[in-house]
Amino acid sequence: MSRLMLGRTLERICKAVLLLCLVHFLIMMILYFDVYSQRFDIFSRFNNGRGVNSSRGPHHYYYNFSRPNTTFASYLATADHLLPSTKPEANHTPPTPKPLPPCPEVPPGLVGRLLIEFSSQITLERVQRENPNVTEGGKYTPPDCRPKQKVAIIIPFRHRDNHLKYWLHYLHPVLRRQKIDYGIYIINQLGEDTFNRAKLLNVGYTEALKDAEYDCFIFSDIDLIPMDDRNLYHCYDQPRHFAIAMDKFGFRLPYAGYFGGVSGLSKKQFLKINGFPNEYWGWGGEDDDIYNRITLNGMKVSRPDVRIGRYRMIKHERDKHNEPNPQRFSKIQNTKNTMRKDGISSLMYRVVSVKKYPLYTNISVEIGKPPPRPLKG
C-alpha cells in the first residue's frame, strides 16, 4: 500500500514538473516572438522612413505597433519626443556651399626667383598638359579663394608664334601661383602695314570687356618674361609699371619716365587717361605718351622693388614694318593737347575673327593704315 502511494506521489510530481516545463516553454516562445516582432518593426520602419519614394510619409523610429494597447494616437504622442521626424530626401534642400575666403595678399605658393631660359623646345601641347586647370580662352580662377580683381592680360601681336609658346609656358604657372583670376588675349594685327602697339592695346581693352567684366588690365609685350613670381600681376592704387629691370638694360630702369614692356591699369585709371594713343605708328614713343597721360591726370607710377621687377627678353631681330617712328618726339611733347581727342574715345577698328584656344583667346583685327607723312621742305 505504501508503495502504491509513493508511486502515485511520484507520478503527480512528474506531471507537475512536466506542466511547469510546458508553461515555461510557452512563456519563452511568447517572449521570443514578441522581441522578434519588435526588432522586425524597428528595421522595417527605419528602411521605409528613409525611402525617397515612400508614399506613407515620414516614420517615427523605435516604436512597436505589435505591442498590446497600442493606438495610433499613443504612437504619435510617444514617438514625437523620442526622435525628430525626418522628411523624404526628395524634398531635402542641399546645404549652401561655404563661401570661399579672400585670396591672401601674398599667396603662400610663390617660389621667388625663377630660372628663365629659351633653349628648350616648347610646344603648346606640352603647355596645355602642364596647366590642366586653365580653361578655354586661356582663363583661370583660383579654386580655393576669392580674388579681389578680375584681370585681363592684353598682348599686342604679329608673327611671334615661337615667342607666344615661351610666354604661355612661363606665365600660366606664375599667374596660377599668384592666385589671379585672369584671361589672356592675343590681339593680332592683320596685314603688313606699320605696326601700332598702343592701338592694339586699346582694342584688347575693348574686346576683353565684351568677354567678361574685368576691372584690371595688364598690358604686356610678348617677348618679356618675369624672373620672379613675387611680381604680382594685379592692379594697384596707382598705375603700375612691372618691367622695371630688363636684362637688355642691365637690369636697371633706363630713365625715370620709362613705362614700357609690361604695365597695368585699373579700368578707372585707364578711362581717366582716355586709354592709350592711337597715332603712334611704328616703334617707340607710345610708352612715354602714356606716362605723360598718367602724370598729367594727377597720378603717379608705382613700381616693384628692383630685385623683384626683373625680366628677361627673348632675343629677336627688329620686326619688319615696325621701324622707329620719326614723329615720336614731337608727338610726346604734345600729349597734353592730344590725349582728350586721341585715345579710347576715338578708337576705330574691325574685328575679323575671335578664336578661343585652350591657352589663350586670339582676336585678329584690322586697325587701318598710318596717315601719309608730311613732306620735308
Domain ranges across the chain: 124-316+324-366
User: How far apart are the C-alpha atoms of 310 and 63, rounded to whole Å?
Assistant: 75
Active-site hit among 286, 288, 289, 342: 286
Minimal CA–CA distance to 90: which of 42, 58, 121, 118? Answer: 58
**Contact status, residue 146 vs residue 99, Cβ threshold 8 Å:** yes
- CATH class label, 124-316+324-366: alpha beta
Burial of 95 (0-12, 13-18, 19+ CB in 10 A): exposed
Q: How far is CA 179 from CA 18, 104, 241, 249, 291, in A?
A: 86, 8, 20, 30, 28
Active-site hit among 181, 207, 221, 279: 221
User: How far apart are the C-alpha atoms of 293 and 275, rounded to whole Å?
Assistant: 9
What confidence score (pLDDT) does residue 316 get? 66
Active-site hit among 181, 207, 223, 289: 223
The alpha carbon dihedral of 118, 160, 210, 289 has a sign of positive
**Contact status, residue 204 vs residue 264, Cβ threshold 8 Å:** no
Report the chain's terminal Cα–Cα distance, integer Å: 167
**Contact status, residue 186 vs residue 362, Cβ threshold 8 Å:** yes
What confidence score (pLDDT) does residue 351 get? 98
Question: H helices within 183-299, ranges in order?
Answer: 197-211, 267-272, 286-296
User: How far apart are the C-alpha atoms of 171 and 242, rounded to whole Å?
Assistant: 14
Active site residue 287: yes
CA angle, corner 59, sides to 57 and 61, nearest 5? 170
Active-site hit among 289, 313, 328, 342: 313
Residue 266 falls in which region: left (phi positive, over 0), alpha (psi -120 to 50) or beta: beta
Minimal CA–CA distance to 299: which of 258, 215, 239? Answer: 239
SS3 276: coil
Active-site hit among 287, 288, 289, 342: 287
Residue 46, H or E segment: helix 2-50
* Helix pair 286-296, 197-211: axis angle to 10 deg: 60
Q: Is the pTM of this model over 0.85?
A: no
User: How far apart are the C-alpha atoms of 247 and 326, rounded to whole Å?
Assistant: 26
> Going by C-beta distance under 8 Å and a sequence separation of 6 or more, which residues neighbour residue 230?
106, 110, 112, 304, 308
Give the three cell numbers for residue 287.
Answer: 610708352
SS3 224: strand
**Contact status, residue 142 vs residue 179, Cβ threshold 8 Å:** yes
Active site residue 299: no
> Going by C-beta distance under 8 Å and a sequence separation of 6 or more, which residues neighbour residue 120?
none
Active-site hit among 3, 56, 81, 318: 318
Active site residue 223: yes
What confidence score (pLDDT) does residue 3 get? 63
**Per-residue b or e along 1-39, where b marks 16 or more CB atoms closer than 10 Å to that residue's CB:** eeeeeeeeeeeeeeeeeeeeeeeeeeeeeeeeeeeeeee
What confidence score (pLDDT) does residue 208 get? 98
Residue 310, H or E segment: strand 310-313
What confidence score (pLDDT) does residue 376 get? 56
Minimal CA–CA distance to 187: which of 154, 150, 232, 143? Answer: 154
Which stretches in the chain have pLDDT values below 70?
1-7, 30-92, 316-324, 374-377
> Going by C-beta distance under 8 Å and a sequence separation of 6 or more, which residues neighbour residue 136?
356, 357, 358
For the beta sheet containing 245-246, the strands, ordered from the edge strand earlier in sequence to the opposite edge, are 224-226, 310-313, 245-246
Q: Across-strand partners of 112?
A: none
**Contact status, residue 225 vs residue 312, Cβ threshold 8 Å:** yes
Active-site hit among 8, 12, 252, 316: 316
pLDDT in tens, 166-189: 999 999 999 999 999 999 999 999
Active site residue 286: yes
Active site residue 283: yes
